[in-house]
Amino acid sequence: MGKSQRSADVVIIGGGIIGLSIALRLRQEKLSVLVLESGEPGREASHAAAGLIAPKFEPATEPFARMAIASRDIYPAFCVELRELTGVDPEYRSEGTLMPLLSAEEERWAADLTGSADDSVPLTKLTRGEVLSLEPSIAPEVHSGLLVPGDHQVNNRMLLQALLKAVESLGARIQRYTPVRAIRVRSRGELLVESDATHYTGGTVVLSAGCWSHLIEMEDPSLRPPTRPVKGQMVALQMEPARLLTHNVHSPRCYLVPRLGGRVEVGSTVEEVGFNKRVTSGAVEKLLHAALSVLPALQDCSLIETWAGLRPGSPDQHPIVGLTSVEGLLMATGNYRSGLLMAPITAKLVTELIMTGRAPALLEPFSPSRFARADAPLARI
């Protein structure tokens, strides 16, 4: 007996922040949408993130900055929309990011950052007294600091909860625990997506499987996106008092993200260790030591969670988004540390691409074709 088949206008492989955001926009365009997720939606890199909406601290190229700033600018409306659709508050906050500089060496490091500042991500230089006025609990030996008022944050886990609820309420089908094995080209301009139990067909397929994207088999292996897992470990503490810290803090040593209710998240390591998601004592010790050096009052706070996630790295640390040489096959992966930041604009632009057949200008620098081998044949239908 052959495998059963299901179909949709668009099949999205991957139910993280990028895949779900695309599903939301496509359903609002009245397309039928099927999301295939190997586990529970939003429980991998999206769940493990810190929730920073911070273009300045990501790879500094002009194309990336343009897209990141565009996404940052529509984020507040995105969160309001989700809250109104679902009643779930993503907890968007706009206090900005503070960078305390605790030594002359760190001040020299920050000089490069200020020298490369984009006009749309302004930095304000702060004296020692101004840093301590904003955050009195910062280590007293702080020399100076920087303030990035345009950097904000969102509670990524609440955002994912709201997004998943919105997507399902709009009628998208989400198939959980359905790892995809292969994407095949069929006749009549149709793509076949294979899992263990079922085959799925769609006129359009969006590959958004994070660091697992390159594992999906294709008839032309050169089409596989060059993604890889980049592990990041984090810890969370319960602040006492709850407003011990109000700004995001991005030190050269670590970053700290305060949540409503007094939780503060500390991150993050960058480890090239394959698909290993174990939390290690050495990483926890390193993160806690760094956090205490920046905010000594954390020594009296309770350690409440440790976790690790796998970011979807790409060779140039930039997203892989756009059309492939196979008609109907798109990619939206490889976001490295910026998946949460880029979700709203990626969803908007990918939906525009699907509806019009034309790649928006913002997406052109991130085309999957930039990694294609010069001698690789184009796939044909």
DSSP string, 47-97: HHS--EE-GGGS---HHHHHHHHHHHHHHHHHHHHHHHHHS-----B---E
**Domain match, 234 and 347 both:** no
Structure tokens at 152: 């904000």
Return the number of other C-beta atoms located less than 10 Å from residue 52's C-beta: 24
Cα–Cα distance for residue pair 142/139, rounded to 1 Å: 6
**Domain match, 242 and 145 both:** yes
**Domain match, 259 and 211 both:** no
**Domain match, 197 and 324 both:** yes
**Domain match, 123 and 266 both:** yes
**Domain match, 164 and 303 both:** no
Q: Residue 77 half-sphere exposure, CB side, CA atoms within 13 Å?
A: 8
Domain for residue 13, yes or no? Answer: yes
CATH number at residue 263: 3.30.9.10
| Three-state SS at 276 | coil
* Number of domains comprising the chain: 2
Tell which of 291, 313, 335 closes a domain: 313
Domain for residue 126, yes or no? Answer: yes
**Domain match, 357 and 256 both:** no
Per-residue pLDDT for 197 more than 90? no
**Domain match, 105 and 42 both:** no
Q: In what order do the strands lie in the sheet with 144-148?
A: 124-127, 144-148, 97-101, 248-250, 255-258, 263-267, 228-238, 302-313
Structure tokens at 138: 């910062």
Tell which of 313, 339, 355 closes a domain: 313
**Domain match, 79 and 21 both:** yes
**Domain match, 133 and 276 both:** yes
What is the pLDDT at residue 376?
Answer: 40
Alpha-helical segments (H) within the chain: 17-28, 45-48, 62-86, 104-115, 128-134, 156-169, 281-294, 339-356
Domain for residue 205, yes or no? Answer: yes
What is the pLDDT at residue 123?
Answer: 86
Pairing of strands 302-313, 263-267: unpaired
Domain for residue 278, yes or no? Answer: yes
Per-residue pLDDT for 204 more than 50? yes
**Domain match, 163 and 248 both:** no
φ and ψ of 368, to 5 deg = -60, -25
The residue with tokens 């200008």 is 361
Pairing of strands 4-13, 320-323: unpaired
Q: What is the pLDDT of residues 33-44, one digit of tens each?
A: 999 999 999 999
**Domain match, 275 and 364 both:** no
pTM score over 0.85: yes
What is the pLDDT at residue 109?
Answer: 86
Cα–Cα distance for residue pair 97/115, rounded to 1 Å: 18
What is the pLDDT at residue 378?
Answer: 36
Domain for residue 211, yes or no? Answer: yes
Domain for residue 90, yes or no? Answer: no
Q: Which residues contact 222 (CB under 8 A, 6 or more apart)?
A: 372, 373, 376
Domain for residue 381, yes or no? Answer: no
Q: Which residues contact 91 (CB under 8 A, 6 or more apart)?
A: 154, 155, 158, 159, 259, 260
| Range with the poorest average pLDDT among 81-95, 249-263, 271-285, 363-377 | 363-377
Domain that holds residue 243: 97-149+229-313
| Range with the poorest average pLDDT among 106-110, 132-136, 223-227, 290-294 | 106-110
CATH number at residue 73: 3.50.50.60
To the nearest whole percent, how much of the chain has pLDDT over 70? 93
Q: For the chain, how are helix, strand and coil distributed in percent, rounded to 5? A: 35, 25, 40
Cα–Cα distance for residue pair 54/69, rounded to 1 Å: 9
Cα-atom radius of gyration of the chain, to the nearest Å?
Answer: 21
